[in-house]
Structure 1
Amino acid sequence: MTNSPAFFVSYARDDVKHEQFHENFKTFIADLGARVAGLLAIPIEDAYFVDENIATGELWSDQLKNALMNCKASIVLYSPNYFTREWCGKEFQILLDRCKQGEGVTGIIPVRWLKTIPELPERAAQVQYQDGRLPPEYGSRGMRQVVALRATDLRLYEDVLEVLADRIVTAVQNQHLTPLANLDFATVKSAWPTAGNAVPHPSHVRGNISKTCFVFLASEGWDWKPYEPEKWGIGALSQKIAGDLGLRYEEVRCDAALAQKLKETYENDVPTVLFLDPESLGEAAVLQSMEQYDEKYYLNCAAIVPWEADVEDKIDTDTRWIALQTMCPQKVGDPPPYHEWRTIFSQSALEERTAKLIEEIRSRLMKKLMSGQSRLPTVRRAEDPGMSDTAAAIGISTGSLPSLGSPDR
């Protein structure tokens, strides 16, 4: 193999220690490498570099050092482990430093190795993570599971490989990473805090109008599918919309910190979309979140409720709609801009309207940022005893409830 592989593989060793996970990892890298080699017309041994020998704390080999200095692209396997490992942070920082200034950081191709990943550290948030071409199942399962299920869903596996291989080839052909003449590992600082001193990082406040945050107020969270049997879950659909608009994507969890995080996205001019599942209105975390949200007036936020198609002609008598009016009397009674409480009844309408609302918010924020306009004051929510009584009659409490957090994905 040469010192200039087409792509370098950066990953957390702990993620592949288990025998079956290791087999999935090797299969994925080998299959991806074969595709890249074919597309670039190079020997397969020159397609990629992956080091499976180095352990935490060991000195990096000359072979790894040369590959890291001269690779033409890199894939990075995102996982909870990855963002707490010093060596992973060092590799990531070296790759980040090699990205051409002013041309984005497309020489680094993130791979969602596990379906659950933490909030991205500031350095990682600089990299465009989402790609609307990737199938939604990739986001809901993670690449490791996609590899494991290839025997029963080969098409999905091949579709993901095709997108990732195309991104690698594009980075190679456009020389998105500049080679390094020398490298001193001892002086390289990790791109993030290590496990021993990691601190929560509010990445949701960074990026301004270059990103969109999404909140899934649903029992199923990221996996909720508003319109069965459509294949798109709400998380994958959100990623697709953000990718199609050329924006970064980030999920903000529905938990006890949601109200504070929404305030922070408002203060930092980050467009934010809240999707509400009507079937989850009885969930304590959803109820409390909506009541708290109704008290504020954030013009960076859009709130969208997708309803079933057969509800359109009878929504006025739907108990969920009555309950929603009780939870959010201010927002529903006198809707601010960017709120769709009862107008979405199909998947296509959901996707189209969400994209439009994001662009409208971004346009407003751009004008505000350019003019130096100060923030609008927050507004307290209205109270409607009549609606509260109606909600109570159908078994929905509107009192203050403890925060339970959203279910795991």
Structure 2
Amino acid sequence: MVQLFLSFSGEDNGSGLVRDFFTDLCTEIGNITALAPDGLGYNYLDMRTAMRWRKELSEALGSCKVFIPLYSPRYFASPFCGKEWWAFSRRQADHILGTADPEPEMIFPVIWEGVFDGRRPIPKAAADIWAKQPNLGDRYAERGLRQLVQLKHNKEYGPLYHEIIFALGKRLAELIEDSPLAADVMSDDFDSFGNAFCDPLTAQKDTAAAGAVATPATDDGPSRERPASPRPVPGPRTSLSGPKHVRLVVASGTQEDLSGLREDTTPYGDRQHDWAPYTPDHPDPVLMYAVEVASELRLMPHLEEFDGEVAQLLDKVEADNELAVIILDPWTIELSGRQAALGEYDKRLTMNTGMAVPQNASDTETAANTDALRQQLLNVLGRHAQLREPVFKMSLKTVAAFQDALRQILVELTRQVMMQAPQARPALRSDPGVSFDSRPFLDGPSEG
């Protein structure tokens, strides 16, 4: 078991600077905590010849208490670093699902090279975590630590470097002590991991289709990248494929239902399925736009209306290995029986179900009541609102925003369901009559 996992691009270790920094950091944490600096943290620079690097890497990701990414342009461009981040974030998600605790803040970024200059996009996974620590000074936030490591023996910059190391070590020592993450057995099948630095559709392609597959780097930088063999999207559903059916569940009301809640009932019709929240610019029912996305992702849509039997819905999609997305109109929460059904839904955090909440920006009545509608929604669906990003999406003010959110939800749900599915490879190997496509794989570290 290790306390820290250092995730970085090998290209950033020129002249051994990353090794120097991590050694200094672990020494400082050892001084603060009395933990032995040796073995305190994991980084692949310490890999031994002939070791089973996949196994050791997965054990470190599964046991570490804190994940430390070294932010740099090279880091965010590395698919392998994206997979490390993705694996640790899945472990945090599993902790949330198992305990219903808030998300543990155990991803602790360190700025290695300036990335906040606006010249390059920062992946959402990283942008969502605050990295600019004001107590470390503007120079650190703007330029990062790399140059300071080089200047750590300089009379002018050395004290600044050591102050930063002390501050980082102090905070990491606190996180190690407070970390709620239990050790977990993590697969060493890195081919199946997503890339946290890609958008969901790109990540799906990176995991299941074509792309450059990165390998861990040596002291001199990444060993190489090579093209992966393309892998087709699964065809008709079999017991070995991922979920191919999605239930699109509209939770709205009829025009008659809404007449007592709002003045303008134009977006509604005689059935829940008639709800067209993006009227007048896009007057089609929201289900039409949802079906487009499902078809784009090669999922078979099944259209349903939300009722009080939400537990039955959740049980069925799990039993049938399907997906479900509830498309919720926040105006309808006060309809008879709706709060109770949504409250029942909020008690369960399933891997198969997500929610999207359209809210038309041009609907003046909705805009005037935005705060009240949002608070009402949070009161009923508090657990999902706090814990279920990216499969719980609110305030989708345009058709484009709604469809983009639905893509993200469906891709993430598919990934979660496939990760919890039993591994079928032994059966495939034991049956000589079964053939399957070769998968992209990651080579171990090379010598240069």
Q: TM > 0.5 between the two?
A: no
Larger radius of gyration: 2
TM-score, structure 1 as length reference: 0.43
